[in-house]
Amino acid sequence: MYRYSLPEGMRYSTLEERKRFYLEEFDVGKVSNWLGKRIDRLKFAVIIGRHTKIYPAEYREDSETTIIVDEYRNLDHVSEQIAEFLPESVYYDRNLYDENDRRVGQELAFDLDPENVTCPVHGGLAEKMERGQGLSFCEIEFDMVRDQAARLYDQLEKDFWQLALVYSGRGFHIHVLDEEANALSKKERGQIARSIKKKGFTIDEWVTAGEMRLIRLPFSLHCLVSRIVVPLERNDIDHFNPVNDERCIPKFLRS
């Protein structure tokens, strides 16, 4: 029924389930608290059905398009627009903009996804891509990337003061909130990404290097796996299991 193989209990969210989540469960207050002052001039984005192929009929032609949401009155208005699109994914733009909409920096982030590790059972990403399973992952791969995220967090703490750890719905994001990091050049970001890769971490290098500016919005729903994107504390991660942790399981799977 589903294109990608996923851990037990994870599956695509239906349109009705997406609607229920964004109308009844999505908490803009938590989003606001997590973003803090970064919310100034922030841009959001949605992808309606690129991977799941599930989308409202009226958005068929735009189902694989990245739609930027940059005209809104407040976060409640953003939430209303999300509920209109019923997207499989919701993001925010890590770029920082001035009052003239000019880019003046970018939040530094590290993205670790389970499909990027080499699984003793399912092989590496290239092998999975050949089988048409590039976004598939198993619990072994999740455990491996969870261990990497913990070790990378500890590594980054040596160089940065403020870090935010987020379960992305599949893997993990580590956000660097130091203001000085926002001003890093493209060259400096690339050097950091390559250095981290050389240490054995399977990060998505283009995210850290700044080529991919969008990152998944905390407290949104990852509809490829029906899991909520949730911030975590460092001491949470060692035993975190999205298969049964209620913090990331939407109500439509618990009722």
What is the per-residue pLDDT for 2?
A: 52
What average pLDDT score do residues 246-253 get?
97
Q: Does the pLDDT of residue 97 top 60, yes or no?
A: yes
Distance (Å, whole) CA 95 – CA 212: 10
- pLDDT averaged over every residue in the chain: 93
Under the banding of pLDDT at 50, 70 and 90, the label for residue 135 is confident
Task: Render pLDDT for 191-244 as a digit per residue (tens, 0 to 9).
Answer: 999 999 999 999 999 999 999 999 999 999 999 999 999 999 999 999 999 999
What average pLDDT score do residues 15-34 get?
97
What is the per-residue pLDDT for 1?
A: 40
Lowest mean pLDDT: which of 67-76, 125-134, 187-196?
Answer: 125-134
Domains of the chain: 15-243 (3.90.920.10)
Q: Does the pLDDT of residue 31 top 60, yes or no?
A: yes
What is the per-residue pLDDT for 39?
A: 86
Burial class of residue 118, CB neighbours in 10 A (0-12, 13-18, 19+): middle
Distance (Å, whole) CA 140 – CA 189: 30
Q: Does the pLDDT of residue 4 top 70, yes or no?
A: yes
Task: Render pLDDT for 146-184 as a digit per residue (tens, 0 to 9).
Answer: 999 999 999 999 999 999 999 999 999 999 999 999 999
Residues 6+ positions from 54 with CB-CB distance below 8 Å: 12, 13, 14, 15, 88, 223
Q: In this structure, how many other beta carbons lie within 10 angstroms of the beta carbon of residue 16?
A: 10
Lowest mean pLDDT: which of 2-11, 12-21, 160-169, 212-221?
Answer: 2-11
What average pLDDT score do residues 111-117 get?
91
What average pLDDT score do residues 181-189 get?
96
